[in-house]
Structure formats: C-alpha cells, structure tokens
Amino acid sequence: MKILLLGASGSIGQQTLDVMKKNPSDFILTGFSVGYRTRCIGSILRKFPTVTHVYLRDEHKVKYFQKKHPSVTFYSEKFFHLEDLINAVDCDMVVNALVGFSGLLPSIRALDLDKKLALANKESLVAGGEIINKILDSGKGKLYPIDSEHSALWKCLKVDDKNVSKMVLTASGGSFRKLNRDELKNVTVKDALNHPTWSMGKKITIDSATMINKCFEIIEAGYLYRYPSSKIDVKLHDESYLHSYLIYKNGLCRGEINKPDMRNPIKFALYEGKIPFETKSFSSLEDLKGLHFHDFDLARYPLVGLAKLVLDKKGTYGVALNRANEVAVQAFLNEEISFLDIEYIVFKIMKEHKSIKDPIVPDILRVDHEVEIKARKIVEKIKKGERE
C-alpha cells in the first residue's frame, strides 16, 4: 500500500514510520510532510527511498533540500496548501498525524479523493465530524482511527456490536490526577508536561492534564461509531492498559488490554483492521487483577462535559471548542496564563458562541478565525489582570 504521511516529525508520525519500516513488503512511503522540525527529512529519505514528494513549512529550506535531493519534489506552505499534497502524491492511504485544526482540510481532501484515511488528528472530527460523515455516507473514502481508545472500541465492535449499552473510554487522568481543584492553581508548565504513563507531544499532554482530550475523544467516538453522548462514558484507569471497553445489555464487558504503545493502534489502522487482534471479555472491572480504576468526576474535570453539548447540538460548537482550547493551551505553554485559565477561556468562548447549523467548510474556517481572535483577546485581558 502506498502511503502519504502527514506530520512525519511528530510522535505519531515517527512511530508510524517505525511500523512501516518493520513491514516493508506491505507499505511504501511515497510522500510526507513536516513542520519546522526539518532535521528528520534526510533520515526519512534514506530509510524510504520511494518518497517522491515532501512538504515543509519553512520556505527558506526548500532550496537547500531540493538541491540535496534532486529526485524529490519539495513544497512549502507559502506556495502550496498541505491538502494539495494529497493530489500530487501517488498514494492509497493518507495517515493524518497532524496536531490541531490544520489537520481538518487534509482529512476532508483525502476522503473527497476516495482515499483511505488513518486518522490520529482529533480535531478533524471535533471540528468537522458532520462534514466528514457526510462524505463517508456518500460512498467516498474509508476512515480508520489511530487513537488507542478508538482502536480498542473498533476491535471490540468487530467482535460483537449488538446490544451495546455503553461505550467506555478509559483515561489516565493526566499529570495532575492526584491533585484536587485547589492544588491546580499554581501548577507549572513543567509539571503539566510530566505525564504518568504516556510519552506524547506538548499540546496533547496538556490536553490530557485538563482532560479536554477525553472530551475530544467522546466527540470522536460519537462521530466514528454514530453513538449518542448518552451512551459514551469515561472511567479513570491508572495504568493505561485497558484502552477502552464496551458494556453490553446483559452486563458483560469487552475491552482491549495492552501496554500503552501507540504502535499497536497505528499498525491496526494501517492494515485496515485486517490483522489478528485480541479482546478480553469480563464480568466487571474487578476481574482485571492488578489494574486500578476510579469513577470519573465531572466536577474535577469540567471540560469533559462540553462533549455532550458538541455531540447533541453539533453545528460549529466543535470548531469553537477546538480553537478556544488551542489558543488557551498555547498561551499556557508560553506562560501567559495559569493552568486553570485554560478552562476559563474555553467555557467563556463556548457560552458566548452562536452556532451555525449544518456548516460547510467556509463556515468552519470563518468561525475558527473569529474564535481565535476572541480567545486571544481574553488572553490579553488575563495578562493585564482584567479577567471578567
């Protein structure tokens, strides 16, 4: 299978390359994109000589790489849109390992072109779930999730998708899972980036600490599996070994138990779910000896409650949620605001948002831009001590 990898320099991108390298007879890398971290380009081209196209954000480095690798065509974002790379590259599958809203348009383009899409970009479904499902319903493209939670649910549904009572996403609780609300007031960026079980990029690690990543995953699950918010729950799990599970109407459960390694869901997505896998049936979580679980507390992680709003109301609520969070997380990483200010900004944006029903792509792009401006203004007010 010919693969175009978007986001090759990130954590998921690098692990995707690991999986492909270990299965050279099954996968051919024909193109990839990186952001500003261009040092990996030479190494990837040496390992995958089949690459014909590379996209990078830094236009000043295009000439350097083009001269060094004349058989490869290089593009930069100044003259070329990332989604246009999908048109240019000969590929069967697009692996979207991009971080943030920038992953939405490439996801839409891949499906519109009837490509297979292995999706690790949460924001594609959070901001554009309605549009993506309409494309899929029209018969174009195939969508395979890479998130460990959604991969686990996919496997369980493949075994038995009848009479499901609840879909349960497990969550580590993030870097501050042992802290109460009051103790969160003075946590630092360094503290937040110290995740207890997973090694991830900065943004998703912060999203795990606020638990908005679980909010996003509930929304993703709703769109991926067409389940209402009322049938999707969250359970805290210390070790991150049970990746998610189903509860059936007869009380029995089925889940995937595996070490926290993203290469497993990546491989399952690349093979379109057509390789052997194991799920475990159990009567209750108490049957899983050595693993620890806790009830989810919405008062402790209030951002998770916004998933219900997005899934129930749809429209552009997901766009507003995603952009408000992106601005707030970046401001926190820049040490412009406190950790709890992330929640404040997101809730303020969501409360004031006027959603557009049945949005099309121009609506989504406009709302994304407008929310970014509003969120930045809130950040500036907080910096000046003018928080409302």
Q: Are the CB atoms for 192 and 176 separated by under 8 Å?
A: yes
Give pLDDT, residue 225: 97
* 3-state class (DSSP) for residue 270: helix
Amino acid at residue number 32? F
77 contacts 107 by C-beta, under 8 angstroms: no
Q: What is the mean pLDDT of the chain?
A: 94
CA-CA distance, 47 to 45, in Å (whole number)?
5
Q: What is the C-alpha end-to-end distance of the chain, expressed in Å?
A: 54
SS3 state of residue 53: strand
Break the chain into its structural domains and give their ranges: 2-145, 149-295, 315-383
- For the chain, residues with pLDDT lower than 50 are none
Tell the residue number behind the tokens 């379109």, with chain if given.
272
Neighbours of 217 (CB within 10 A): 30
* Residue 197 pLDDT: 58
Q: What angle do CA 218, 224, 227 make, to 5 degrees?
A: 65
Q: Are 258 and 241 in contact (CB under 8 A)?
A: yes
* Burial class of residue 196, CB neighbours in 10 A (0-12, 13-18, 19+): middle
Give CATH for domain 2-145.
3.40.50.720
pLDDT at 194: 76
Contact 72, 88 (CB under 8 A): no
CATH level 2 (architecture), domain 315-383: Orthogonal Bundle (1.10)
Amino acid, res. 149: E
